[in-house]
Amino acid sequence: MDSAGNVVEVEEEMAFDALPTAVKDGLRKKAGKGKVTKVESLTKRGKLVAYEAKVMTEGNKSEVQVGPGGEALDHEE
C-alpha cells in the first residue's frame, strides 16, 4: 500500500498447472535443475507484471521471475 492507502502490489498464489504454457516453460527454464514449489502472480497498480516461483535446488531455496508472457525480465519486479 502507498501512503494514501491504495493497493500498489498484489501477490496471488496460483497452481502451476493453471499457468499459460509459455509461463510454465519460462519458469522451468529459469529454474534449471530446481523444482518449482510455489508460484505467485505479481500485479502492480492493477496490471499483471510478472510471475514469481519459489524453487528448491539441492536443498537450497531461491526465487525466479518471468514476465506475463513467460519472457525473461530486464529487472525483477
Question: Hey, what's the cell of 15?
Answer: 497452481
User: Each residue of 25-60: pLDDT tens digit?
Assistant: 999 999 999 999 999 999 998 899 999 999 999 999
In-domain check, residue 76: no
Rounded (5°) CA angle 16-40-74:
105
Note whether residue 71 is domain-resident: no
Greater pLDDT, 48 or 75: 48
pLDDT at 7: 67
Query: Which domain does 26 fall in, by range?
Result: 9-66
Rg of the chain in Å (alpha carbons): 13
CA distance 19 to 25: 10
Residue 33 in domain = yes
Total domains in the chain come to: 1
Cα(8)–Cα(19) distance, integer angstroms: 23
The angle subtended at Cα 13 by Cα 9 and Cα 15, nearest 5°, is: 145
